[in-house]
Amino acid sequence: MNHIVSLKWLLARMYEPDVVIVDCRFLMGQPDAGRELYEASHIPGAVYLDLERDLSAPVEEHGGRHPLPDIFDLTVAISRVGISNESLVVAYDDQGGMMASRLWWLLKYLGHEQVFVLDEGYTAWVDAGFPTSSQQKTLIPARYLATVQHNMLVEMDEVKELLGQDRVTIIDSREGPRYRGEVEPMDKVAGHIPGAINRFWKDGLSDNGAWKGADAQSERFADLDRDGELIVYCGSGVSATPNIIALQEAGFSKVRLYAGSWSDWISYSENPVAVGDEEGKKHVK
């Protein structure tokens, strides 16, 4: 796989000087839990980046529940933990790769190529008997120069303009009941962006939590136009990122993130909302 590395791969390289291991564990609704888990035990030498403090901007009226961080602030955050343009970054979490994928996407957005997500996550690392530590690494700041890849991102206005276009597929990464508008535990309005199809991000993982290979990912998206444009979203722009990795593993190249996602979309009261399945069953309100 191009963007995922195995536990044994990291074990063999974890002490190489250019490798930066980043712990991204975070529990929604428990903003301090990830940091506390990191302080108690982590992969030796790992640094910690927090989803809400480091990998998101403060919440405002628009932009969703996890707005993209300011480019300068993000560059400062990753430089502070020792990530330079030459670093090989391996991100991990214990949430199926969702938080690690957010960092993966952000670094790619800054123009960084050598960034990977650790397969299976921290619990699998511990269960394998690999080393852990509670000692925090002394941070030696690095210098990172961003080359922002604006083509990876799509804003709300453009999503709205592209609704209904034949060569554009909008992919909702949330679980089926949230996509269909049957439940909504996080946001004020239930439903999905009209015309979006549903591909739950966790379907990219095997039963044991390992990432599926390229062939299996291709099967998940077999009905999609490989030459068409794909726009991926979720609730707040976090769980969409594992689907972006899966799509790239499957060979899709025209993939963009709607970072504000559903929580941004519904912050504009005039935006249309669909419920139900898109296969002839939806209605728009």
How far apart are alpha carbons 26 and 99 in whole angstroms?
7
How far separated are the first and last CA of the chain, in Å rounded? 41
Helices then strands, each counted (H, E), the chain: 10, 12
24 is known as an active-site residue: no
Specify whether the CB–CB gap between 160 and 245 falls below 8 A: no
Please, how many CA atoms are within 13 Å of residue 162, restricted to the half-sphere of its CB? 20
List 28, 232, 234, 266, catalytic entry: 234
| DSSP bridge partners of 42 | 133
How far apart are alpha carbons 101 and 93 in whole angstroms?
9
How far apart are alpha carbons 158 and 201 in whole angstroms?
23
3-state secondary structure 85-138: CCCEEEEECCCCCHHHHHHHHHHHHCCCCCEEEECCCHHHHHHCCCCCECCCCC
Which residues belong to the active site?
234
